[in-house]
Structure 1
Amino acid sequence: MNRSNSGASFDIIHILLDIGSIAIAFFISYSIWGRGAISNGDIQVLMPVYLVSALVFLLFNRALNVYNTTLFFYLDRILRRESLAYIFALICAYGLLYHSLDKYIYNELVLALPIVTYVVIFLEIMFFRGIVDRFILRKHVPRALYVGSKDSYNKFRYFLEKTSIQINEIGYISLDDDDKSIEYIGKLKNLESIIRKYNIDQVFFLQKRDMDIILLQQYVDICIEMGVTCRIVVDTFRRRKAFSFVSSIGTYPILTFHTVTMNKYAVIFKRWFDIVFSLVIIILTSPIMLITAIAIKIDSPGPVFFRQVRVGKNGRHFLIWKFRSMRVDAEELRPELEKFNDVKNGMMFKMKDDPRVTRVGKFIRKTSIDELPQFFNVLFGSMSVVGTRPPTIGEVELYSMHDWRRISIKPGITGMWQVSGRSSVTDFNKVVELDTEYIDKWSIWLDIKIIIKTVGQLFKHENSY
């Protein structure tokens, strides 16, 4: 896990909208006033000035905490701060043009561009930012659960709605009493089962002053053990195996415990890496996939692809795609083969010389060609190139609280387990250890190292069956 919390409270959507507004304003201004009023030589002078002033505007906003997700989004406050940053940027721009100001002061583009830019930024703040935050991004935000009294829940939610923090509110659970309100979904003593049932990503503990610290620590540990991000309102706690950082929303200080990275820059980079990498692999291996599909169809009756529901991040279900390497009745035959399972305690199923595997299946498994369709899972976001092994629903039902932590991130096509022995690792506890080690040590460079090791193993045909 990346231990840096850089960007955890950074409103990247706001800054992207500001950058987009600046670009749109320039395009509009140049299209209307620039073509006939300015030469190529003038553009070479004005463009760097505009870019520098735009950078000053963004940096000044950053200094004023405009891009902090915990800042209360009052229109007058945001407009005042962005206007101040814009005036400062405008002063810098005219300062850079000071020695040639007499040449450009009456130029239509130079006069229109600052006005158009401010108008576009104003419209973005007034209308478009709220639409993007509350509607377009809603389905991509973490699923959150509140723990506390109804009064504290309502007050905290009131504060939260004034910020740029986006979460999918699943509901709240009480400390010890029942509640008839529509948001109520259970009691604190059932926290583990509620996390499993509702695929929770984050839990907010709204602590009372008289709350038993020892009792609350017990439930904080449950979240940490399961890999669910835990946010404590008001008080301080031992962080145990999790990392933490402090922020605030309204009058509430918040101490966040997390075992998965909260670095937004790294997360965004990983997602873009997944998209680009999977697209390249799909394009390069498309002839191999076509030949494989034909071979499977000729070798044995049944579909080309094997589809199965697997468990992804924090219990979400998704459909995994692989080339079929077994007989069509493989699942029906599995109970008869359980006694030959190489994995101790039956938490996974791996069997050497599995009789259900077809002739083509043996080859594509040995070369890992059977996993190529999973790059479509990566492309569409249910998996990552590097992650933990995606378990089946039946396997997850047997997970202990500690085991659940291995699905606190997206599953991957390859990972620490695959490059550390794969089929030779037959102890499920060791698999969990390797997966949680990956989560704890995650970085972009670790992903690259694992990919390089995976490629090396593919050429050696090691540990694949």
Structure 2
Amino acid sequence: MKVKRHIPILKRSLDIVVSALLILALTPVWILVAIAIRMESKGPIFYYAHRVGQNYHTFKFYKFRSMRVNADQLVEKMKHLNQYKSEAQETRTLKLTRNLIANAEYKSIVVGDGIYAQLDEFEWQKRNNTGNAFVKFVNDPRITRVGKFIRNTSIDELPQLFNILRGDMSLVGNRPLPLYEAEKLTTDQTVGRFLGPAGLTGLWQVTERGKDNADPVKRVALDIEYAEHHNFWMDLKILFKTPLAALQHENV
């Protein structure tokens, strides 16, 4: 049975009003960013990926494109860049990426934000890997110069205002996750983070974003804390802290 998503009326009203006003007010920014992206590299201005939000609701998650179109050709250079990955996982990840490149004709490939793997290898890893669910890269070589700027200023997130207007997300909540991350967070200890609404910004972003040595356990704990205790005033406090948190210095 599908669980019905619920966002409190006051929170939903704030989402609609603020997202609509921001979409209109930021129109010049949208135009400038679109021009900059197309001038630096050919390809789409926007991209979408399926993400998992509240109660495991899956939706199309939009962003400005910040990576090269040929990003898959650079995956070999990324083997050591995952901030969440432990040393014990590096050998396995390197094997996955090398196998993918060596078998380019292989058709069953799983692709996600920061991960590329053959389907059988991915299934093996899913069954046997109890390591970190999150993937985050430092100095990702796939990111363009414009992409680096719009990521560090969080401008790449602006298209998610349409997700908020549609009701897929809220202004404040837990970040919606790629499918391959969400399916690893289904234990009794982690599933609670999906009880809260998906959000553009959240408790984790204003406390931990941009820090080195990211801690996946702490991230889940903060997500669960928000899901269990969020209210209108907590949301306002997080919104006020967001502009400073958005101007992160680390290239992640």
- TM-score range normalised by the length of the shorter chain: 0.7 to 0.9
Q: Which has the higher contact order (CA 8 A, sep 6+)?
A: 2
Alignment correspondent of 2:3: 200
Q: 1:331 to 1:384 in 2, by over 3 A?
A: farther
User: Per the alignment, in what secondary structure is the counterpart of residue 318 of structure 1?
Assistant: strand
Q: Distance in 2 between matches of 1:315 and 1:279?
A: 25
Shift of 1:418: 0.4
Alignment correspondent of 2:34: 293
Shift of 1:284: 1.1
CA contact (8 A) 1:386 1:450 kept: yes
RMSD, aligned CA: 2.1
Q: 1:396 to 1:334 in 2, by over 3 A?
A: farther
Shift of 1:272: 0.6
Within the candidate set 377, 391, 395, 2:177 is matched to 391
Q: 1:316 to 1:387 in 2, by over 3 A?
A: same
What aligned pairs does 1:55-454 form with structure 2 within 5 A after superposition? 170=1, 199-200=2-3, 267-330=8-71, 333-334=74-75, 337-344=78-85, 345-401=131-187, 402-424=189-211, 426-454=214-242
TM superposition score normalised by structure 2: 0.75
CA contact (8 A) 1:350 1:423 kept: no
Q: Distance in 2 between matches of 1:331 and 1:350?
A: 16
The alignment of Structure 1 onto Structure 2 pairs a total of residues equal to: 205
Q: Distance in 2 between matches of 1:394 and 1:331?
A: 17
Q: 1:336 to 1:461 in 2, by over 3 A?
A: closer
User: Per the alignment, in what secondary structure is the counterpart of residue 423 of structure 1?
Assistant: coil
Q: Distance in 2 between matches of 1:331 and 1:381?
A: 32
CA contact (8 A) 1:385 1:413 kept: yes
User: Per the alignment, in what secondary structure is the counterpart of residue 352 of structure 1?
Assistant: coil
Q: 1:314 to 1:405 in 2, by over 3 A?
A: same
Which amino acid counterpart does residue 244 of structure 2 have in structure 1?
A: G
Q: Distance in 1 between matches of 2:237 and 2:71?
A: 35
Higher helix proportion: 1
Gap regions ≥5 residues in structure 1: 1-169, 171-198, 203-261
Q: 1:463 to 1:414 in 2, by over 3 A?
A: farther
Shift of 1:403: 1.7
Q: Distance in 1 between matches of 2:251 and 2:172?
A: 17
TM superposition score normalised by structure 1: 0.42
What aligned pairs does 1:6-21 form with structure 2 within 5 A after superposition? none
User: Per the alignment, in what secondary structure is the counterpart of residue 134 of structure 2?
Assistant: coil
Q: Distance in 2 between matches of 1:335 and 1:400?
A: 30
Gap regions ≥5 residues in structure 2: 86-130
